[in-house]
Amino acid sequence: MSESQSRYSIVQNMAMKKLELLDQKAAYDLEIQELEQEIANREKGIAVLKKTSAENLQRDLNSRDREIANLKMKITYKKSKQKSNEKLVDLKIVELDKALKAIEKISESAPSPLEQN
């Protein structure tokens, strides 16, 4: 019986060794699957980041384009206001020149304060 127990022990040890090897193989497979899943998750993260970055960039570009358009509109408004204001200032200068000439004429024809005494 000792021979059959010995065979039984050998078979049992070999079976245990086979199970350990299968466990190691399964552990490697599981680690590889986990690493592959991590790669897939990171790739998805990169894709989301690229999309979000592209959307943020486009929003930023659109915002800056609107700012430039607003500044151009302000320039156009200021230029038109400047032209109308220049015309008004020119008219006022002409009126002041007329008034100064009229005062000059009056001053020429009127006696000076020294002549009145």
Higher-scoring residue by pLDDT: 53, 115: 53
Question: In Å, what is the CA distance from 19 to each residue of 9, 14, 30, 39?
Answer: 15, 9, 16, 30
CB-based burial label for 9 (10 Å; 0-12, 13-18, 19+)? exposed
Q: Which amino acid is at 65?
A: D
Please give the Cα distance from 97 to 95 (Å, whole number).
5
Question: pLDDT tens digits for 1-19?
Answer: 567 778 889 999 999 999 9
Quick check: helix, strand or coil at residue 100?
Answer: helix
For the chain, give every domain's residue range: 2-110
Average pLDDT of the chain?
90
Please give the Cα distance from 78 to 80 (Å, whole number).
6
Please give the Cα distance from 103 to 117 (Å, whole number).
22
Question: pLDDT tens digits for 84-117?
Answer: 899 889 999 999 999 999 888 888 887 766 666 5
